[in-house]
Amino acid sequence: MIRLRQKDIERLAIITDGSVDYLTKLVSMSLIDHSYAVDQLIKYSYKKLKSEKRYTPAQMIEALMREYGASKSKVQNAIYNKRSSEHYCSECMKKIPVSEYKRNDGLCDSCFAKHIQIDI
């Protein structure tokens, strides 16, 4: 999992017009989705870099990958809002990959296995 650093929390405070202390408390209580927060930080940083009109998109993406320790696809997804829809098991509500969702008619492998009847 991506951990938010102090400077990330400070940037989030700027983006949200919130208090650094309050955001630090929320982060320590695990009440902030770190992945979503990093997406917002990437998007914010990209807009700032783009406004300077000094860098190419490839250079900005590379810099953001290094700054946030994220993959190229994560940075691109954050910048261009490319998101695959999320799928959840209809029984236990666990987040599952689309392939598992389709293969098991909306169930995770564990819940699907509960419905298998073995006749010997």
Of 16 and 74, which is predicted with more confidence?
16
pLDDT (tens digit per residue) in 28-68: 998 988 888 999 999 999 999 999 999 999 999 999 999 99
pLDDT of 89 strictly over 60: yes
Nearby residues of 26 by Cβ (< 8 Å), 6 or more positions away: 32
- pTM as predicted: 0.66
Residue whose C-alpha is closest to residue 15's, from 42, 52, 47, 44: 44
Which tokens in the block code for residue 109?
A: 């492998």
Average pLDDT over residues 88-107: 86
What are residue 6's DSSP bridge partners? none
CB 35 within 8 A of CB 8: no
Alpha helices in 1-120 (DSSP H): 6-16, 20-28, 34-52, 57-68, 72-80, 98-103, 109-114
